[in-house]
Amino acid sequence: MEQKKKTNKKFTIIIGSLIIIGIIYGVVKFVHSLSHEETDDAQIEANMNPIIPHVGGYVKKVYVSDNAKVQKGDTLFTIDQQDYLVHLEQAKAALVAAESQLIVAKTSIGSYQAHVATSDAQVNSAAGNLETAKITLWRAENDFKRYENLYKNQSITAQQYEEALAAKQAAEKQLEVLKSQQKASASQRNAAVSQTEISEKQVAVAEANVKSAQAQLEAAKLNLSYTYVTAPIDGQLSNVDLQEGQFVQPGQSLFYLVNTNNKWVVANFKETQLEKMTIGQRVTIEVDAYPDDVFEAKITAFSPATGAKFSLLPPDNASGNFVKTIQRLPVKIDFTNENDAEKLAKLRSGMNVLVDVHLK
């Protein structure tokens, strides 16, 4: 009977102790919750740059291996250059041809401008000769009128009259010839001016062709430089699934380069936890992989929408039956400079963490 009483007493003590511990734990968690918000729906994030070639071709040589650390500018792999060297030589030849055409066009315009100057001189000369011929005709006509009156009065001989008539007719013919020559000179000048304008347009076209050829040459040089695929940032590579002789397409994502120098945490808090959270609040972070280490951080940004809105098929509560569910909002948390750099370097993108926001 005494043994049973002792057993009941021990059991009562254990139950009482558990209740007290539970109450103390509950009180501690309640007090903690007044000034803290926690979530384990959080992961470490980092920029993952896809390695994408600008040009296509066969892989000539791969210089890196899986998970290798690289510096910005390091060559990752090269693409066979033969096709791009041919394109470069073609672009050089096209530029030489375009420059030669420009020289010929400029030479032609100089020649036609000389023709215009010659034609102007001929037009001016014809105009002067025409004025002289008009004066000659005017004098011949006046002489003929006087000789005609004298001939009627039989004051001069028929020979003298005929000489005055011949001089008048010769002056008329000379005037007609000079008018024809003036028209011909004007036509030649107009033709030379038109040809000069055409030559100027040909020069403009030739200059445009030179610029186009220069652009093609620069593009060929740029494409040739793209056969060397280099690291855009410092970081660590993912699995390099690439072999020599493999054909790659421009724009094809081959593998990733993770920026190991810049990490942050994205924590998905329930919408009911956000009331007292603000940017700049202190955050302590525990990483599942390293439970003995605590990292210091702070809130730097809140997402403009809940995670569900960014999903591939966002929910549409206006259709079907509506069931209210608590939404989660992504919160960006940056590590501060108070952390050990060596410990931060061990963190990897995608690791799970426990986030504790200090509200006060």
Q: Are residues 211 and 88 in the same domain?
A: yes
Q: Are residues 198 and 262 in the same domain?
A: no
Q: What is the mean pLDDT of the chain?
A: 83
Q: What is the pLDDT of residue 193?
A: 60
Q: Are residues 56 and 147 in the same domain?
A: no
Q: Are residues 60 and 114 in the same domain?
A: no
Q: Are residues 110 and 221 in the same domain?
A: yes
Q: Are residues 301 and 265 in the same domain?
A: yes
Q: Are residues 135 and 258 in the same domain?
A: no
Give mean pLDDT, residues 52-79: 95
Q: What's the total number of domains in the chain?
A: 2
Q: Are residues 53 and 124 in the same domain?
A: no
Cα 199 to the center of its chain, rounded Å: 36
Q: Does any domain span residue 324?
A: yes
Q: Are residues 165 and 256 in the same domain?
A: no
Which one has a higher pLDDT value, 276 or 159?
276
130 has pLDDT over 70:
no
Q: Does any domain span residue 269?
A: yes
Q: What is the pLDDT of residue 170?
A: 73
Q: Does any domain span residue 73?
A: no
Residue 109's pLDDT band (boundaries 50, 70, 90)?
low
Q: Are residues 220 and 330 in the same domain?
A: no
User: Residue 116: which CATH number?
Assistant: 1.10.287.620
User: Residue 325: which CATH number?
Assistant: 2.40.30.170
Q: What is the pLDDT of residues 287-313, one digit of tens each?
A: 999 999 999 999 999 999 998 888 877
Q: Does any domain span residue 29?
A: no
Give mean pLDDT, residues 164-188: 70
Q: Which domain holds residue 129?
A: 83-225
pTM for the model stands at 0.67
Which one has a higher pLDDT value, 115 or 73?
73
202 has pLDDT over 90:
no
Burial label for 295, CB within 10 Å (0-12, 13-18, 19+), is: buried
